[in-house]
Structure 1
């Protein structure tokens, strides 16, 4: 629970007032300073501290769009507690629309970081030491890498009771059981005793209105449930739980046409897509090997043998 006074990054945050603090990372080779804006809304009343974070991968602009919309709608102004927004975490990658840090590393595999490690590791260390200890709940917004298009979903560890409870309140179309990845932000936060929701939706380098709307509505539900803002929780349907899943891979190389909608329930042997050559001599259908839901589709037009095409639930 937030206390008065609330201090973050060495600064006392005033009550009832918007505060922006720059988390200093490093300088470009041009000597230009690169900072990550941290937007803090600290209410006059006690309550949880919630962090809304996006852009840990610099090309995941849907997440940035979600946090931006939350700020625009003033959903980040709590009646109780504190809401911290970091719309663009990996500012380096965001500037040039790449997934990685300038040192070529995936920031989401560098936590909790080290004080004298690589640039990405040092940045992860700053977050782990200076921000993470002061928050109670985190919603981390992601998208599919490259051309992989995710249905809006929350990923949770099946043994994380508090996380699963909040995932249901978020009310996404799907909740996917997903183990934490070593050295990821989610693993580090779990080890610190924090409650984390990992949102996945859409693909990189896009602003998808449907995905952004799902992210905003889900976050609003969680903030209402935790007592930070007022309102009624909007529950549209019971989320589909994905307990086991498998990637369907390309058996051949060629041009790829998708024949199924993301989120669809498909039957065994149903045609999911077609792989064909550019010369009109070859065409190979991609069939569903079992019954299940499609919750991620590779939208790339050209595929190689072995490429992941569809992520499907395994319905028992």
Structure 2
């Protein structure tokens, strides 16, 4: 059995974090009009034993709040004396967007399409450059936490480039029932980190500007499982959790007309080719169009706003090689397990 090595001090943003120590840092991202500094909050937990450097970050899109709570709960349970390696927790990357409850930065750019950024570029490019070069490059692994965009909700899922073996192992360890084999998108944190050989997985769950208890509980549990997989924490991922099922492709079903949507299916539901997903009607009801599934699959995302224009994305369907009924059953088992976990946590809080 390999001997565990004692860790060493970890340096980030010019600050040294000692062995077995945790420290709160602030990365000055920009200044407000008042010249008040705007800082990205960072918590570094440096374990007593040598191991990976894992970053868990959230709110690259400032209105995606579930990940912020995932990071908070994660930090509450981490004990440096039991940790191997180093955890870098960044609950709010896009502080501008977070303050304004917006996905974007004030320049209306998407920070997750701006990596690796530029020292002399737009505000989004400058912030991406700063965060990437001062924080992300120091990591060996990254978990990027997201939700659906405004008026959209996502089933808990992992998106990852499964062609990379280390990334695939992280994706499977997280424990969501569905893993989307997603190609790298130019300008994303996932893409640019991968260019440096850093495995990154993206967790998607819930919707913007809302706390979703299932999405949060699944996120905390998933990060815990990945840390166990990386041997940063003692214990193994429970064997009773089924292996995730891989979706090799997905597509959005879009509205063919303008109108008011009456959904007939819900998140996580199995649908068959030609099944009616929704009716789109005029306000007076004098016209009505059926929105049908182009292929059999599972609903992994959907619009929550009942008002649509022609071309709006309404349902996101994932397509699996497995029997869709098997996938649906695993989703039900997963959600039941998360609900049980929530009940256990609430009981523990009441007893403390």
Asked if Structure 1 and Structure 2 have the same fold, meaning a TM-score greater than 0.5 normalized by the shorter chain, the answer is yes
Q: Does 1:159 align with 2:200?
A: no
**Cα offset, 1:295, TM superposition:** 0.8
SS where residue 166 of structure 1 aligns? helix
Q: Does 1:70 align with 2:81?
A: no
C-alpha distance in 1 between matches for 2:62 and 2:82: 28
C-alpha distance in 1 between matches for 2:116 and 2:26: 20
Report what 2:262 is aligned to: 257
Structure 1 unaligned spans of 5+ = none
Q: 2:55 aligns with which of 51, 54, 58?
A: 51
Q: Does 1:20 align with 2:24?
A: yes
Q: Which segments of structure 1 move beyond 6 Å, counting only runs of 4 or more?
A: none
Q: How many residues align?
A: 316
Tell me if structure 2 keeps the 8 A contact 1:157–1:178: yes
1:137-161: CA deviation from partner (whole Å, max 9, x where unpaired)? 1000011111121111111113122
Greater share of residues in helix: 2
**Cα offset, 1:2, TM superposition:** 9.7
1:88-111: CA deviation from partner (whole Å, max 9, x where unpaired)? 110110011001111211111111
Q: 1:204 aligns with which of 204, 208, 218?
A: 208
Alignment TM-score, normalising by the size of structure 1? 0.95
Report what 1:144 is aligned to: 148
**Cα offset, 1:165, TM superposition:** 1.2
1:131-190: CA deviation from partner (whole Å, max 9, x where unpaired)? 122110100001111112111111111312211111111111210011111111111100
Supply the RMSD in Å over aligned alpha carbons.
1.7
C-alpha distance in 2 between matches for 1:78 and 1:199: 25
Structure 2 unaligned spans of 5+ = 322-352
Report what 1:299 is aligned to: 304
Structure 1 residues 277, 162: closer, same or farther in 2, change over 3 A? same
Aligned 1:166-181 pairs, distance under 5 A? 166-181=170-185
Structure 1 residues 75, 200: closer, same or farther in 2, change over 3 A? farther
Tell me if structure 1 keeps the 8 A contact 2:194–2:200: yes
